[in-house]
């Protein structure tokens, strides 16, 4: 590691706009004199990441991460202190004079700088060959056939990797790059290595291929993807750089350096499968687009996108592989709190071919009308179903239930169940049972991989469950846990429909349906034994809280409040149906009558809720 004078460090910090620096990776909004965003260092849904331009610092109130611009670059980009200072100094035009005092760390920093230089020089050389050399004529013809002109090739610094090893050697000598450096950068590969990495002959990784530079968030070339120009048996269409100290394919999205500000502005990312698809979509004017690196979509990719947007549109090929990739991406993206939609391309088309055949507007129309993932899944299942029988619809529901169980938010899951039940014409109760089974199957599978859940995890899940519950329902639950009269009245009140329809009443419903008796000490263990571990922990936490004041009258008031919520939801649903076009006169009259009746029931419930304890109606 090198030593940089303190005054130089302070100069670098003072010259760095921390809001602009952080804003390249985190979507920030102004909040008073500071800026807020979702923390890039832990998964959160509510912004707790605070950037102070006046202090030149950042702080996350969720995970505790914080520091100056230098610390942010270190933590976010995985750099050493010296590397982070140098990057910021270069950006600010500040010259650094340093003293070397740790040879090992200095060697590591030099190796990283060498790999970045090798990739940068290779990108420039490949590009020069593509634009000028006669050997690259087939690559230029290929690009022309794909509708990619010289200006586009320049903007993306596309290149050509020659067939002969001799040209590579001449270039490496000119750039003073050793064969070992080219191997470490992934530009050369070594055959027949022994277990210690010795022996074998080095040869160029890419020959006669169209080259696409892969860049990190800051625009540095860190790797390449080479596309085959002529079909060859047993040869992959794309060959990517191997993992190196500067490149990890599971942590990089192609084009993200160019598109991230457009993604942040749109609050939406379009994801394609390949480099050419991504480039063609970007050049067509849909600039909020990225592509993977030929590997499965990863959790890190999802977190990268969550920092800058809340919605993703998957724009994969329409074949079986594309459908499988779509479902896998959904299962990675959704737990991060990202809404997923699917652009259903015509059979046999990819974004590039569609743009060339029908123009950018055709793709833009598909993107704009892209349905949510669940609706897309149902459409596909219906298209392949043999009939619309009850058996077929139940089969479809079981498959969709697995996707619904991925949702972490209770409200999100309830909304999904409501929508899917209507689309498949099955009961919400039946679909809820399928979702619960799917969730339990996933939990049991995860527990087999991770081992038994720890006490801390169970407590966290219990806390999440309690936080998801309706506050009035929680109060009523606490009263019924300790008051036999309240619990008996609740069971006699015919509130099953209300508990089924009002979100956040799951715990209250469990208690109402149980045989638990507050006056019988032996009934509690039996009740708890029939619950999931997190449900048991939630009831234990409720019992540990102080009992809310009041008795049967207050319990009635609480149930009236929940019934009002249910009726209001039913009124809104009926009013929404009234606004649908094409309704017949009888349908309109029936819905209007329904609204009138529900409104009257709601008024009656409000009157009862306001009644005093001594009122005859109470």
| Least trusted range by pLDDT, from 284-288, 507-511, 525-529, 588-592 | 525-529
CA distance 164 to 180: 19
Say what the pLDDT of residue 618 is: 43
> Could you tell me what percent of the chain has a pLDDT over 70?
89
Under 8 Å between Cβ of 258 and 218: no
Is residue 305 pLDDT above 60, yes or no? yes
Structure tokens at 168: 């590579």
Say what the pLDDT of residue 453 is: 44
CA distance 245 to 518: 63
Q: Do domains 2-100 and 256-370 have the same CATH topology?
A: no
Say what the pLDDT of residue 115 is: 93
Report the mean per-residue pLDDT for the chain.
Answer: 83
Q: What is the mean pLDDT of residues 237-251?
A: 88
Name the residue among 53, 50, 80 with its Cα closest to residue 63: 50
Q: What is the mean pLDDT of residues 387-407?
A: 81
Higher pLDDT, 1 or 242: 242
Under 8 Å between Cβ of 70 and 84: yes
Q: How is the chain split into domains, by residue range?
A: 2-100, 107-247, 256-370, 380-450, 469-610
Sheet with 221-228, side-by-side order of all strands: 159-161, 209-215, 221-228, 238-240
Is residue 455 pLDDT above 70, yes or no? no
Under 8 Å between Cβ of 609 and 560: yes
Higher pLDDT, 386 or 231: 231
Under 8 Å between Cβ of 96 and 86: yes
Which ranges of 78-233 does DSSP label H, i.e. alpha helix? 81-92, 103-132, 137-145, 150-155, 165-174, 179-184
Helix (H) or strand (E) holding 430: helix 428-450
**Could you count the other beta carbons within 10 Å of the beta carbon of residue 279?**
26
Structure tokens at 206: 């890419």
Phi, psi angle pair for 320, to nearest 5°: -60, -40
Q: What dihedral angle (degrees, nearest 10) is formed by the CA atoms of 161, 164, 169, 172? A: -10
> Could you tell me what percent of the chain has a pLDDT over 90?
26
Say what the pLDDT of residue 105 is: 55
Length of the chain in terms of residues written: 618
Higher pLDDT, 489 or 497: 489
Q: What dihedral angle (degrees, nearest 10) is formed by the CA atoms of 324, 327, 329, 333? A: 180
CA distance 23 to 51: 10
Is residue 412 pLDDT above 70, yes or no? yes
Tens digit of pLDDT for each residue in 429-450? Answer: 878 888 888 877 766 654 444 4
Phi, psi angle pair for 583, to nearest 5°: -75, 145
Ranges 214-218, 408-412, 584-588, most confident: 214-218
Domain 2-100, CATH class in plain words: alpha beta
Name the residue among 113, 124, 125, 70 with its Cα closest to residue 245: 113
Under 8 Å between Cβ of 240 and 225: yes
Structure tokens at 568: 């209001």
Say what the pLDDT of residue 225 is: 93
Is residue 154 pLDDT above 90, yes or no? yes
Per-residue HEC secondary structure of 335-352 comes to HHCCEEEECCCCCCCCHH
Q: What is the mean pLDDT of residues 373-384?
A: 85
Q: What is the mean pLDDT of residues 383-389?
A: 75
Is residue 280 pLDDT above 60, yes or no? yes
Long-range contacts of 325-332 (CB under 8 A, 24+ apart): 325/273, 325/296, 325/297, 326/373, 326/376, 327/377, 327/403, 328/296, 328/297, 329/271, 329/297, 330/373, 330/403, 330/406, 331/403, 331/406, 332/297, 332/298, 332/299, 332/301, 332/302
Sort strands 49-52 and 57-60 into parallel, antiparallel or unpaired: antiparallel
Is residue 210 pLDDT above 90, yes or no? yes
Phi, psi angle pair for 590, to nearest 5°: -65, -45
Say what the pLDDT of residue 579 is: 79
CA distance 115 to 182: 8
Tens digit of pLDDT for each residue in 307-358? Answer: 788 899 999 887 778 888 888 899 889 888 888 999 988 888 889 999 999 9
| Least trusted range by pLDDT, from 35-44, 180-189, 438-447 | 438-447
Residue 174: pLDDT band (50, 70, 90) is very high
Q: What is the mean pLDDT of residues 448-474?
A: 69
Residue 138: pLDDT band (50, 70, 90) is very high
Sort strands 221-228 and 209-215 into parallel, antiparallel or unpaired: antiparallel
Structure tokens at 379: 């459409």
- Domain 256-370: assigned CATH number: 3.40.1360.10
CA distance 401 to 416: 9
Tens digit of pLDDT for each residue in 260-279? Answer: 888 888 889 999 988 999 99
In the beta sheet, which residues pair with residue 214?
223
Higher pLDDT, 223 or 422: 223
3-state secondary structure of 176: coil
In the beta sheet, which residues pair with residue 314?
271, 342
Q: What is the mean pLDDT of residues 374-402?
A: 81
Q: What's the CATH superfamily of 107-247? A: DNA primase, catalytic core, N-terminal domain (3.90.980.10)
Residue 195: pLDDT band (50, 70, 90) is low
Higher pLDDT, 523 or 245: 245
CA distance 467 to 457: 15
CA distance 385 to 343: 21
Judge if pTM exceeds 0.75. Answer: no
Residue 162: pLDDT band (50, 70, 90) is very high
Say what the pLDDT of residue 458 is: 65
Q: What is the mean pLDDT of residues 404-408?
A: 82
CA distance 103 to 237: 42
CA distance 442 to 402: 9
CA distance 308 to 52: 19
């Amino acid at each position: 590691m090198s030593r940089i004078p303190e005054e130089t460090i302070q100069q670098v910090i003072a010259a760095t706009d921390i809001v602009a620096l952080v804003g390249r990776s985190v979507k920030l909004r102004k909040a008073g004199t500071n800026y807020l965003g979702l923390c890039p260092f832990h998964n959160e849904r509510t912004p707790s990441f605070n950037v102070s331009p006046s202090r030149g610092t950042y702080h996350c109130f969720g995970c505790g991460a914080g520091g100056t611009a230098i610390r942010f670059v270190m933590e976010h980009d995985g750099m050493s202190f010296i590397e982070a200072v140098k990057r910021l100094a270069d950006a600010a035009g500040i010259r650094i004079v340093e003293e070397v005092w740790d040879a090992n760390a200095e060697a590591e920093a030099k190796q990283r700088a060498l790999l970045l230089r090798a990739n940068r020089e290779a990108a420039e050389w490949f590009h020069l060959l593509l634009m000028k050399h006669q050997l690259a004529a087939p690559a230029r013809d290929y690009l022309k056939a794909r509708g990619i002109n010289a200006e586009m090739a320049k903007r993306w610094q596309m290149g050509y990797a020659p067939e002969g090893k001799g040209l590579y050697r001449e270039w490496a000598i000119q750039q003073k790059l050793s064969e070992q450096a080219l191997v470490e950068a992934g530009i050369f590969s070594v055959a027949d290595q022994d277990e210690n990495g010795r022996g074998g002959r080095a040869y160029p990784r890419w020959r006669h291929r169209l080259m696409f530079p892969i860049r990190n968030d800051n625009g540095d070339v860190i790797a390449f993807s080479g596309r085959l120009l002529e079909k060859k048996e047993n040869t992959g269409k794309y060959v990517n750089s191997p993992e190196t100290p500067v490149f990890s394919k599971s942590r990089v999205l192609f084009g993200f350096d160019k598109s991230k500000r457009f993604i942040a502005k749109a609050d939406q990312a379009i994801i394609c499968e390949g480099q050419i698809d991504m480039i063609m979509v970007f050049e067509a004017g849909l600039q909020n687009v990225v592509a993977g690196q030929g590997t499965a979509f990863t959790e890190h990719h999802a977190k990268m996108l969550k920092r800058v947007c809340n919605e993703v549109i998957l724009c994969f090929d329409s074949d079986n592989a594309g459908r499988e990739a779509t479902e896998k991406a959904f299962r990675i993206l959704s737990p991060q709190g990202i809404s997923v939609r699917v652009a259903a391309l015509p059979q046999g088309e990819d974004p590039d071919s569609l743009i060339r055949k029908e123009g950018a507007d055709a793709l833009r129309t598909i993107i704009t009308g892209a349905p949510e993932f669940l609706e897309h899944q149902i459409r596909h299942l219906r298209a392949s179903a043999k009939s619309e029988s009850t058996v077929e619809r139940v089969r479809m529901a079981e498959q969709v239930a697995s996707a619904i169980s991925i949702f972490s938010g209770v409200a999100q899951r309830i909304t999904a169940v409501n929508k899917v039940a209507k689309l498949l014409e099955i009961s919400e109760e039946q679909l809820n049972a399928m979702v619960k089974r799917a969730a339990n199957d996933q939990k049991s599978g995860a527990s087999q991989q991770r081992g038994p859940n720890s006490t801390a995890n169970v407590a966290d899940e219990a806390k999440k469950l309690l936080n998801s519950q309706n506050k009035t329902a929680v109060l009523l639950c606490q009263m019924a846990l300790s008051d036999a009269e309240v619990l008996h009245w609740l069971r006699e009140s015919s509130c099953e429909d209300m508990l089924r329809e009002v979100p956040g009443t799951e715990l209250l419903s469990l208690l109402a349906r149980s045989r638990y008796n507050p006056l019988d000490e032996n009934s509690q263990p039996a009740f708890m034994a029939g619950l999931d571990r997190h449900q048991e922990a939630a009831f234990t936490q409720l019992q540990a809280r102080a009992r809310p004041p009041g008795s049967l009258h207050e319990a009635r008031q609480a149930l009236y409040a929940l019934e009002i919520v249910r009726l209001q939801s039913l009124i809104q649903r009926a009013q929404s149906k009234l606004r649908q076009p094409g309704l017949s006169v009888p349908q309109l009259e029936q819905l209007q009558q329904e609204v009138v009746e529900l409104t009257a029931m709601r008024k009656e419930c409000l009157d009862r809720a306001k009644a005093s304890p001594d009122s005859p109606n109470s």
